Amino acid sequence: MAKDKKTFQDRLAEEIDEAISNMSDEEIRKEAEEADDDIAAFGNHMRVWLETAKDEVAEIAIKEAKAAAEKGRAVRSQNVITMAPGKPRTRPDIFMPDTVAARHGKKLSERDRKGIEKDLDDLFDDDAWPDKKDGDE
């Protein structure tokens, strides 16, 4: 159950189960004889009564659960905020990413070739590097 408190039906069912479970066979026979009932008929009557009571408690529990679920659905539907669909952004067909990774290995552009050549020229340009190395003083 969603709540901690027991319903009247739950408490009643527990009390009946406990009272019957704690009675000895002799006490049950004595009660049946005092009522001038046949013990077998009394036993059958009690079994039918307990089954009916359990079915009624189960039906009530199902109704409570359905009501709680319906209430939850109603609350959820009130909390939903629908967003307006956005306009799809289109990219021009001539768009070419600048990096090799973004192109997924596609052919190098002329701009990429010139950039790589410039980087290599700068790397091998002896005049761009200082004359002293870390070990020299």
Residue among 48, 40, 49 at smallest CA distance from 12: 49
pTM to 2 decimals? 0.30
For 47-93, the pLDDT digits (tens) are 888 888 888 888 999 999 999 888 887 777 666 677 777 777 676 66
Give the whole-angstrom CA distance, residue 106 versus residue 35.
Answer: 97
- How many H helices and E strands in the chain? 5, 0
Read off the tokens for 55. 């079915």
Percent of the chain residues topping a pLDDT of 90: 7
